[in-house]
A and B are shown apart, each in its own frame.
Chain A
Amino acid sequence: MRQGVSGAVYGDGEEVMAKQRLMGLNGDEAVAYATKQVNPDVVAAYPITPQTIIVERFSEYVADGEVETEFVAVESEHSALSCSVGASAAGARAFTATAANGLALMWEILYIASSLRLPIVMAIANRALSGPINIHNDHSDSMGARDSGWIQIYCENAQEVYDASITAWRVAEHMKIQTPVMVCLDGFTLSHTMENVMTLPDEEIQKFIGERGFLTVEGHMGEGELRLNPEMPLTMGPLDLQDFYFEHKMHQVEALKDSLEYIKDVDEEWAKLSGRKYEYVEPYLMEDAEMALIGMGSMMGTIRHMVDELRSEGVKAGMIKLRLFRPLPVEAIKKAVGDVPVLGVIEKAISFGAPASPLMEELMTSYYHDKEKPMMANYVVGLGGRDVSPDIIKQAYTSLEKIKETGKVERLSTYLGVRGE
């Protein structure tokens, strides 16, 4: 199993690894275990497949007295996030988890949580959105929330899920960021698949997480921390009209933009503690690559395998795993892409009626003014949990090879592994 970009330990290997415990955890359990170690003040959640194990395991920790968390078994996802918002506004560390339709039901509150600058952490067990109803993995749920002002981290394996479920708190609560974070793990492929996960002791996690910091704001009764405090009353979430709304949105624009500067500090600190170093963008065999796929989530493991196979056949294939989608680390992506002539953007999401899927559109936008840029093609795969097999990946590389040979992108978006295509 590959852990982090280097695949090797960071710093003093033996010392770093000695205090870690190897556990067999599926992705959901990795979230629950990490969250147990974080010991948040409030967890409010509603069950939805494939997120359920997170809530179940966490309930057990509560029932066994292993956490001091107030667990609120709410009556809907809308209330799960609303309750988290209330708790976080009152100064608590608040966590929730959901998937698919649950995330869709939270929609309204996603924007409110981020505009209130509440550092809530939410795990998303990525699942196809209804309809038709389907419980299996794709990215249509969290991709749909890409404009909601949340930071989004996509994980490749259970180890990344565990690590991100801890670092997400530091990112969300970073004084320059103060923005909620989604940790995205592919439903079933990760949520229900047991893997080896290296975990740190509770006290190390507690030390790493520290105490939540609060922004200082100028309220109507003086300067105070951005929280509901009877000693320094603030009015949070007032009506905000033509004269101020735009400026408040700009604060979010700035926070997300600036967060690119600071998320890496958290990753660096985590690397020192855990030995696992994560980058926003993780290239694989890109130095001499003549074609590459860029994408997110668990399928990147399969793609890495296919790159190895193609390389053994003499094909100069490479790949780029994107771990951070919001904010989109454009510079890091361009650096990883380098001068590869053909880039395939592989996605588990559709934007109906749009020229291409979200990541493809954003990359094309990012490259538009550049003189040197790769030819790009979009491959949509795996909707509703359709297996993204090595053969599907090979089809994408074959298509890229053809583009390279002909110098022409005949189709901007291709749907792979679907009848009638």
Chain B
Amino acid sequence: MTERLTLKQAAKIPDTLMSGHRLCAGCAHPIVGRMIMKAAADRPTIVTNATGCLEVATTIFPFTSWKVPWLHTAFENAAANASGIEAAFKAMKRKGKGPLAKYDRINVIAYAGDGGTYDIGFQALSGALERGHDFTYVLMDNEAYMNTGIQRSGGTPLAAATTTSPAGRVIPGKTERKKPIDEIVVAHDIPYVATMNPAWPQDVLDKSRKAFDTVGPKFLHAFIACCRGWRYDMADTIGISKLATQSCVFPLFEVERIDRKPVWKLTGQSASIARRPESKKPVEEYLRTQGRFRHLFRPKENKELLTAIQEGVDHRWEMLLKRCGL
């Protein structure tokens, strides 16, 4: 069983994702990233990072924020890089060769954004999950290609305005829904999948710990609010993140493989909403906080689309409850 790492204990663990990086003020990346790295600290850890905000802003040569070995190669191959690192560890251990051979296990963490996961890195991710490598894939989901300037991705939600799905006179932002990536990953029959939100840091620690203590491929889906891309004040990152879960736009859950079956379980705030459905907030409250949804309210309210968004969230929430046996 995984031993719990409390926030108090975590605060005392030295950071391996250091300050001084160039991520935007208010960005959720380092909030989540630091906690994941703290949860990883009890084992030797190697990180590989897909091209994206986290990579670009933490490693401008000759500076780096990483106090663990770290590798970036390209956009679409974080899972393949991780496969190679893990394969190297296994082989070197078998042969008793090199500095890695002495470790019982290492954490291999692959960070990638929504573009690097839902879209261009999807194939490499699927392949690595199918092959069963012992690694943890962390999806840092800020719901668009933020690093290149807010272009829509498969992870961008319905109606969000991006630079390639702008809210125009005819088309009101993105016309497609967010790809259900967690279900797709769960369908790969891997031992652990979980969603996490920086507004609930203990939950981030708990799930990261569980992932690292599980052998095989693990998938952590982190909600990464983006003040530049979503158009909100940088002080509101945690508040908006909270609303995302309170409105069931981004529910918190985990899926563990028990007796060869995926067992879905709501966690934290989402479990409590399931117990008290009246506490579920309307999606509109979440949407109103962000400029990317402004066209839904101004110059006049787009009732039809707002209803469609709410229905979509409700529908997915119902499906999730059912999966969790509720």
> Cβ of A41 < 8 Å from any Cβ of B?
yes
Closest 3 CB pairs between A and B? A86-B84, A75-B127, A238-B59
Which residues of B sit under 8 angstroms from A89, Cβ to Cβ?
Answer: 71, 81, 84-85
Query: Which of the residues A108, A116, A228, A237 comes within 8 Å of B46, measured between beta carbons?
Result: A228
| Shortest Cβ gap from A260 to chain B (Å) | 28
The proximity string for A residues 70-96 relative to B, scoring 1 for CB distances below 8 Å and 0 otherwise, is: 101111101100111111111110100
13 A-B pairs (CB sep. < 8 Å) = A41-B87, A72-B131, A75-B123, A78-B77, A85-B81, A90-B84, A90-B89, A91-B92, A220-B63, A230-B100, A236-B69, A238-B59, A241-B61
User: Within residues 54 to 100 of chain B, which ones have a CB less than 8 A from any CB in chain A?
Assistant: 55-56, 59-64, 66-74, 76-77, 79-85, 87-92, 94-95, 97-100
- Closest residue of B by beta carbon distance from A234: B69
> Cβ of A68 < 8 Å from any Cβ of B?
yes
User: Within residues 141 to 184 of chain B, which ones have a CB less than 8 A from any CB in chain A?
Assistant: none
Known: A44-B83, A230-B99, A230-B100; 4 extra A-B contacts, CB below 8 A, are: A42-B84, A42-B87, A91-B100, A240-B61
User: Within residues 214 to 260 of chain A, which ones have a CB less than 8 A from any CB in chain B?
Assistant: 220-221, 227-231, 233-241, 244
Question: Are B84 and A75 touching (Cβ within 8 A)?
Answer: no
Question: Are A44 and B84 touching (Cβ within 8 A)?
Answer: yes
Question: Are A42 and B44 touching (Cβ within 8 A)?
Answer: no
Query: Which of the residues A83, A228, A230 comes within 8 Å of B87, measured between beta carbons?
Result: A83
User: Within residues 38 to 85 of chain A, which ones have a CB less than 8 A from any CB in chain B?
Assistant: 41-42, 44, 68-70, 72-76, 78-79, 82-85
Question: Are B94 and A228 touching (Cβ within 8 A)?
Answer: no
Question: Are B90 and A70 touching (Cβ within 8 A)?
Answer: yes
Question: Are A72 and B84 touching (Cβ within 8 A)?
Answer: yes
- Knowing A228-B71, A238-B64, the reply to whether A74 touches B88 (Cβ < 8 A) is no
> Cβ of B126 < 8 Å from any Cβ of A?
yes
Question: Are A230 and B44 touching (Cβ within 8 A)?
Answer: yes
Which residues of A sit under 8 angstroms from B63, Cβ to Cβ?
Answer: 220
- Closest residue of B by beta carbon distance from A225: B99
> Cβ of B285 < 8 Å from any Cβ of A?
no
Q: Which has the most chain B C-beta neighbours within 10 Å: A90, A112, A240? A: A90
Question: Are A75 and B72 touching (Cβ within 8 A)?
Answer: no
Which residues of B sit under 8 angstroms from A291, Cβ to Cβ?
Answer: none
Which residues of A sit under 8 angstroms from B95, Cβ to Cβ?
Answer: 41, 68
Question: Are A75 and B88 touching (Cβ within 8 A)?
Answer: no
Interface size on B, residues (CB 8 A): 51
- Knowing A78-B76, A109-B77, the reply to whether A87 touches B87 (Cβ < 8 A) is yes
Question: Are B61 and A42 touching (Cβ within 8 A)?
Answer: no
Question: Are A41 and B84 touching (Cβ within 8 A)?
Answer: no
Provide the bound-state CA to CA distance between A105 and B171, in Å.
Answer: 36
Query: Which of the residues A75, A86, A227 comes within 8 Å of B81, measured between beta carbons?
Result: A86
B-contacting residues of A (Cβ < 8 Å)? 41-42, 44, 68-70, 72-76, 78-79, 82-92, 94, 108-109, 112, 116, 211, 220-221, 227-231, 233-241, 244
- Knowing A220-B64, A230-B106, the reply to whether A92 touches B124 (Cβ < 8 A) is no
> Cβ of B48 < 8 Å from any Cβ of A?
yes
Which residues of B sit under 8 angstroms from A85, Cβ to Cβ?
Answer: 73, 81, 84
Provide the bound-state CA to CA distance between A85 and B103, in Å.
Answer: 21
Provide the bound-state CA to CA distance between A73 and B66, in Å.
Answer: 31
Which residues of B sit under 8 angstroms from A90, Cβ to Cβ?
Answer: 46, 84-85, 88-89, 92, 100
A-contacting residues of B (Cβ < 8 Å)? 44-46, 48, 55-56, 59-64, 66-74, 76-77, 79-85, 87-92, 94-95, 97-100, 103, 106, 123-124, 126-128, 130-131
- Knowing A72-B131, A92-B91, the reply to whether A239 touches B61 (Cβ < 8 A) is yes
| Shortest Cβ gap from B24 to chain A (Å) | 16
Provide the bound-state CA to CA distance between A83 and B91, in Å.
Answer: 14
Question: Are A234 and B70 touching (Cβ within 8 A)?
Answer: yes
Which residues of A sit under 8 angstroms from B67, Cβ to Cβ?
Answer: 221, 233
Which residues of A sit under 8 angstroms from B131, Cβ to Cβ?
Answer: 72-74
Which residues of B sit under 8 angstroms from A109, Cβ to Cβ?
Answer: 73-74, 77
Provide the bound-state CA to CA distance between A239 and B68, in Å.
Answer: 17
Which residues of A sit under 8 angstroms from B130, Cβ to Cβ?
Answer: 75
Which residues of B sit under 8 angstroms from A112, Cβ to Cβ?
Answer: 73-74
Which residues of B sit under 8 angstroms from A75, Cβ to Cβ?
Answer: 123-124, 126-127, 130
Which residues of B sit under 8 angstroms from A42, Cβ to Cβ?
Answer: 84, 87-88, 91
Q: Which has the most chain B C-beta neighbours within 10 Å: A78, A87, A112, A211? A: A87
Question: Are B91 and A82 touching (Cβ within 8 A)?
Answer: no
- Knowing A78-B76, A90-B85, A220-B64, the reply to whether A230 touches B124 (Cβ < 8 A) is no
Which residues of A sit under 8 angstroms from B69, Cβ to Cβ?
Answer: 228-230, 233-234, 236
| Shortest Cβ gap from B57 to chain A (Å) | 8
- Closest residue of A by beta carbon distance from B101: A91
Q: Which has the most chain B C-beta neighbours within 10 Å: A68, A83, A231? A: A83
Question: Are B70 and A86 touching (Cβ within 8 A)?
Answer: no
Which residues of B sit under 8 angstroms from A92, Cβ to Cβ?
Answer: 84, 87-88, 91-92
Question: Are A41 and B68 touching (Cβ within 8 A)?
Answer: no
| Shortest Cβ gap from B74 to chain A (Å) | 6
Question: Are A87 and B77 touching (Cβ within 8 A)?
Answer: no
Question: Are B91 and A70 touching (Cβ within 8 A)?
Answer: yes
Question: Are A86 and B99 touching (Cβ within 8 A)?
Answer: no
Which residues of A sit under 8 angstroms from B74, Cβ to Cβ?
Answer: 82, 108-109, 112
